[in-house]
A and B are shown apart, each in its own frame.
Chain A
Amino acid sequence: MLRQAQHERIAVEAVDLVKDFGDTRAVDGVSLSVPPGSIYGLLGPNGAGKTTTLRVLIGIIDPSSGMRRVLGRERPLEAAGEVGYLPEERGLYPAMHARDAIAFMGALRGLPVHEGRRRADQLLDEHNLGEWARKPIRSLSKGMAQTVQLLGTIVHRPKLIVLDEPFAGLDAINQGRLEELIRRETRAGATVLFSTHVIAHAERLCERVAIIAKGKVAFDGRVDDARAKLSSIVRLRTRSSDGPWRSALPAGTRREGDEWVFELPAAGPEPLLRALLDGGAGIEALAIERPGLHDAFVAIAGNKAAEQMGAEKVQ
């Protein structure tokens, strides 16, 4: 009973998941837990194992070893009616009408077709696609078709929404709309698990992230905890260029132009400020910069992975 209650407190759970494709290990001992009602990001460069992890988690493929649990069920397909999934490679039947495509995706998850069509009309109207409801998918633009597929992912009002690289291929306006939709679904009680290789999206949306590199989870936790792995950076400009106050600067302080740059000491800013004032530094400017998720990612996953992410972002 206690265990069941514990399971219900975790929307998605993975323990030591391993997935091999021949001699290649795509997922290497992934463990993570996604709390219900949260927005959880899987962050990593292409080829890190994000898509395979998601496919294993929702039951498209079985793991080589390890355990997964989705909405309390160890066989993810048993929870299919409560899950919505948007794959990385979008796909719809080109001859199907937009509303039928949405209703079909709902029907696959157990929603009656007539109800699916009713909701499809409503959702299409809400997303300014009402006039396209009875037009075949092949006549829609790529962005519109992506929106239709996204609406098909949520038409049955799932408890868990899994999105694989949902922002790929969307322009800035549609990315903003998608972010808003994700926030709205979580406000309505859904859990959102999505993968991305764009750190900014994860930073804006996620409460928790798992950083994946080479099939392994390098970090799993709150975004703030990831940031906390690095110290804040202090940028100090003084009127005096030298004096006894210099001894108050921590080891590793470097000079960048007319600024002193150093990590915020563990004791916090107060002792440092006092020493600077007492030493006659003459504080002209002082800024404490909190590390971003990108900095945390570099620290956790390494420079190479971060550079790869940067390159992909440019592409």
Chain B
Amino acid sequence: MMRFFRSAFVIARRDFTATVLSKTFIFFLLAPLFPLLFGGTFGSISARIASQSAKPVIAVVSSQQDFDRLSDARDELAQALGQDSAPKIIHYAPEANAAAQVKKLLASSDPPIRAVLTGGLDRPHLTGPIATDGNTTGQLRLLISNARVSAASEPSLPVTSVQASSGSLSNDRAVTAQIAQTILFVLTILLSGMLLSQLIEEKSNKIIEVIAAAVPIDAMFVGKLFAMLAASVTGLVVWISAGALLVQMIKHGGVATLPPPAIGWTGFLALTIIYFAMNYLLLGAAFLTIGAQASTAREVQTMSMPVTFGQMLLLLLASTAIGAPDSTEGIIAAIFPLSSPLTMLARAAESPQSWPHVVAILWQALWVGLILRMGSQLFRKTVLKSGPRTKWWKFGRA
């Protein structure tokens, strides 16, 4: 047994260093960052454009008292709907020639005045290049209406804060389950596809003979699988901060606002790592087995599309469990080895029980071993043409 693991380690070390120390690994690391880079670049350009096309400034030519009431009404609106939803207003004291003042203000570029409100709160009048029923007009109408109402007439609304209702919590956890499942799926689809072509190099440069003469084929499969898992984990370490940044960007308020999983954040993160490894090992073992049958890069390319579709079917199967982990579909998806990690991660977000995860992880580990065993036997049979003819029903025991 020691010899088996030592052999697997020799293969894994060679593959890991050959992968991680190659120049192409830098591109591998950078590839998923490109969308973020583009997002950031275009985001900053958009922000600059947005800042340049500043919100319309409304010049309010009125008494100080009227402006103060209007300003208070504006602040209330901004608090309820957000700063961007309320128009910016600036106060100007009335001048003797009102028409000339309006003309002068509209010609101003600093600040860029869009319209001028005159007549105070009693007889308001808006002048400027804006539509009668446009947003700005509507917002100002609302501000004036609120400013006219005295503070005493505001309705009181007492609030009693409670924890999230079970209905909303269940929905929120389903969101967490879906996000986690999608991330796991995307990571696996990005990383495990590499295993399809893992044996091409050995087969094309004939070193497979040297390896097959020295170590058991099973050890070679295990070594290759874990080498690529280690390379993927290296990539993940680089990407993880970028991933957190992405969540920060797409989710207002950041990671902290994600609905908490039923099993708790600590357990959930631990299970995410474990299920990623299991998902990678399961699919990777299957891909290694499939890819080992290919002799050329072209054959691998031909295989990659059906393999990707296969992965999408697994995601589809696993997603049926979201919201109903104990349904028949949910249990089938959890039992079927290749969809089990995705399904069980979603379950961790929705159900607080721990024991199903222990069972699932053992079950998945068993299948990793079985697939690897079948893969190496198939490789010996079909590629090395080894051994006597075996009936297919005795194949697993060969």
Q: Which residues of A contact B (CB under 8 A)?
A: 20-21, 55, 58-65, 77, 80, 83, 85, 87, 89-96, 104-105, 107-110, 113, 149, 152
With a cutoff of 8 Å between Cβ atoms, the chain A residues found around residue B213 in the complex are 55, 58-60, 80, 83, 85, 87
Shortest CB–CB separation between residue B312 and chain A, in angstroms?
Answer: 34
Whether B388 contacts A65 by the Cβ 8 Å rule is: yes
Q: Inside 8 A of A83's CB, which chain B residues have their CB? A: 213
Looking at the assembled complex, report how far the CB atom of B23 sits from the nearest CB atom of chain A, in whole angstroms. 10
A-B contacts, 30 listed (Cβ < 8 Å) = A20-B389, A21-B385, A55-B209, A58-B213, A60-B213, A60-B384, A61-B385, A62-B387, A63-B388, A64-B387, A64-B388, A64-B389, A65-B388, A80-B213, A80-B214, A80-B215, A87-B213, A91-B205, A93-B14, A93-B18, A93-B205, A94-B205, A95-B18, A105-B210, A105-B214, A107-B10, A108-B210, A110-B6, A149-B210, A152-B210
| Interface pairs A-B: 7 shortest CB-CB | A91-B206, A61-B386, A87-B209, A91-B207, A108-B214, A62-B387, A89-B206
Closest A residue, CB atoms, query B14: A104
B391 at the interface (CB under 8 A from A): no
Which B197-244 residues sit within 8 Å CB-CB of chain A? 201-202, 205-216
B7 at the interface (CB under 8 A from A): yes
B206 cross-chain contacts in A, Cβ below 8 A: 87, 89-91
Residues of B within 8 A of A87 (CB): 206, 209-210, 213
Which A-chain residue is minimally distant from B206 (CB atoms)? A91
Q: CB-nearest residue of chain A relative to B7? A: A108
Contact of B209 among A62, A65, A91, A96 (CB under 8 A): A91
Bound-state CA distance A115–B46 (Å) is 59
Closest to A75 in B: B216
- A63 contacts across to B, CB distance below 8 A: 387-388
Please give the distance in Å from B206's CB to the nearest CB on chain A: 3
- Would you call B357 an interface residue if the criterion is a C-beta within 8 Å of the partner chain's C-beta atoms? no
B interface list, Cβ under 8 A from A: 3, 6-7, 10, 13-14, 18, 22, 201-202, 205-216, 380, 384-389
Contacts of B22 in A (CB 8 A): 95
Q: Which of A62, A65, A85, A149 has the most CB of B within 10 A?
A: A62
Given contacts A59-B213, A60-B386, 14 further A-B contacts (CB under 8 A): A60-B212, A60-B384, A63-B387, A65-B388, A85-B209, A85-B210, A87-B210, A89-B206, A91-B208, A93-B18, A104-B14, A105-B210, A105-B214, A107-B10
B7 touching A93, Cβ below 8 Å = no
Q: Which residue of A lies closest to B215 (CB)?
A: A108
Contact B18 A85 (CB under 8 A): no
Chain B residue at smallest Cβ distance from A101: B207
Q: Which residues from chain A contact B208 at a C-beta distance below 8 Å? A: 91
Nearest CB in chain A: distance from B283 CB, A: 26
Q: How far is the CB of B216 from chain A (nearest CB, A)?
A: 6
Closest chain A residue to B11, Cβ basis: A108
Task: Kindly report which residue of chain A lies nearest to residue B216, judged by CB atoms.
Answer: A77
Contacts of B7 in A (CB 8 A): 108
Q: In the bound complex, what is the Cα–Cα distance between A110 and B214 (angstroms)? A: 9
Whole-angstrom CA separation of A90 from B306 in the bound complex: 34
Task: Report the bound CA distance from A80 to B4 in whole Å.
Answer: 12
Tell me how far the C-beta of B181 lies from the nearest C-beta in chain A, rounded to whole angstroms.
37
Q: In whole angstroms, what is the CA distance A65 to B387 when docked? A: 8
Chain B residue numbers with a CB within 8 Å of A89 are 206, 209
B residues less than 8 Å from A105 (CB atoms):
210, 214
* B315–chain A nearest beta-carbon distance, Å: 35
A93 CB contacts on chain B under 8 angstroms: 14, 18, 201, 205, 207
- From the candidates B205, B211, B386, name the one contacting A108 in the complex (CB within 8 A): B211
Q: How far is the CB of A235 from chain B (nearest CB, A)?
A: 47
Identify the closest chain B residue to A62 (Cβ): B387
Q: Considering the chains assembled together, what is the distance between the CA atoms of A58 and B209 in angstroms?
A: 11
Query: What separation, in Å, do the CA atoms of A15 and B58 have in the docked complex?
Result: 102
Chain B residues near A61: list those with CB within 8 A: 380, 384-387
Most chain A beta carbons < 10 A, residue from B3, B6, B18, B212: B212
Which of A60, A65, A80, A90 has the largest number of chain B CB atoms within 10 A? A60
